[in-house]
Structure 1
Amino acid sequence: MTKKIIGAPIMLPGGGTAPYSKAAEAGGLVFLTGQLGLGPDGKLAEGGIEAQTEAAIANIKAILAEAGCTLDDVVKTTVWLTDAANFAGYNKVYAQHFSASPPPRSTVVADFVLPGALVEIEVIAAARA
């Protein structure tokens, strides 16, 4: 089985590159790195869980597009929240983007390395032939 890396290397603030990729395609699937609610400026979206969920999904859409996919191709999501109290706000935004045929999903509560981050979403999508 071959693996294809999707996207350019991830640049770190100090000028180096991160030791992971945005996404990889293998075995007919596209695996994305978990996406935080970061805006185009690299800062956490302001406005709480809903704003960070929107930003995370926007990042997912952009990476999927690099792989020739859309949210309709997502076959599984894993979501981490820092606080179970944020579930309703996150779920509201998530449901707006995955309404037609929502993929299987796991949602767990965990701490994050990045202070202030409230949500991280990881997806697996079917690669388009």
Structure 2
Amino acid sequence: MPVRDVVFPAGRQALYEKNRYSPAIRSNGFLFVSGQVGSREDGSPEPDLKAQVRLAFANLNAILKEAGCTFDDVIDVTAFIVDPHTHFETIWPVVHELWGDAPYPTLTGIGVTWLYGFQFEIKVIAKLPESAAA
């Protein structure tokens, strides 16, 4: 069985070990990133919804950076929103601030009822730059 090529962002390894999952795995030229939420260093949710979305992107970008990527390398996004009917209009303008310019990645949005105390989660697949794919 091949060993997983795990990417850990600085300062958050204990959180992933506690919850028993990898933040991201490099495989065949791609980076598969676990869903990222707006968690503080201790894993607790950021209470302000807009700040929570910004923190989710900051956590995502820390993983991308550790793997040698940026959000421009992201090709597929899955966004989870608790009660999107209520929260979409607050969340989506913040996402647009952080999304970057066209062409945009593909997107699947999913409304959910529970995210472990969070309101937003973002999961991505990125194409590793040639220098980071080895």
**What TM-score do the two structures reach when normalised by structure 2?**
0.82
C-alpha distance in structure 2 between counterparts of 1:113 and 1:123, whole Å: 17
Does the Cα contact within 8 Å between 1:74 and 1:103 map onto a contact in 2? yes
Q: For residues 65-84 of structure 1, what are the structure 2 equivalents within 5 Å? A: 65-84=65-84
Q: Is the 8 A contact 2:82 2:120 kept in 1?
A: yes
Q: Which moved more, 1:1-10 or 1:20-29?
A: 1-10
Shift of 1:51: 1.4
Match of 1:97 in 2: 98
- Runs ≥4 residues deviating over 4 A: none
CA contact (8 A) 2:38 2:121 kept: yes
Give structure 2 stretches of 5+ with no counterpart.
none
1:124 to partner: Cα distance: 0.7
Structure 1 residue 5, shift from structure 2 partner: 1.1
State the match for 2:127 in structure 1: 126
How many Å apart are 1:74 and its aligned residue?
0.6
Map of 1:111 onto structure 2: 113
Alpha-carbon deviation of 1:42? 2.5
Is the CA contact (8 Å cut-off) linking 1:61 and 1:71 kept in structure 2?
Answer: yes
Q: How far did residue 2 of structure 1 move?
A: 7.5
Q: Does the aligned pair in 2 maintain the 1:10–1:20 contact within 8 Å?
A: no
- Residues 80-119 of structure 1, C-alpha deviations (whole Å, 9 max, x = no match): 111112112211111111131221111111123513x101
Match of 2:14 among 4, 11, 14: 11
Query: What runs of 5+ residues in structure 1 fail to find an aligned partner?
Result: none
Look up the match of 1:62.
62
The code of the aligned residue for 1:104 comes to T
Bigger shift: residues 63-72 or 104-113 = 104-113
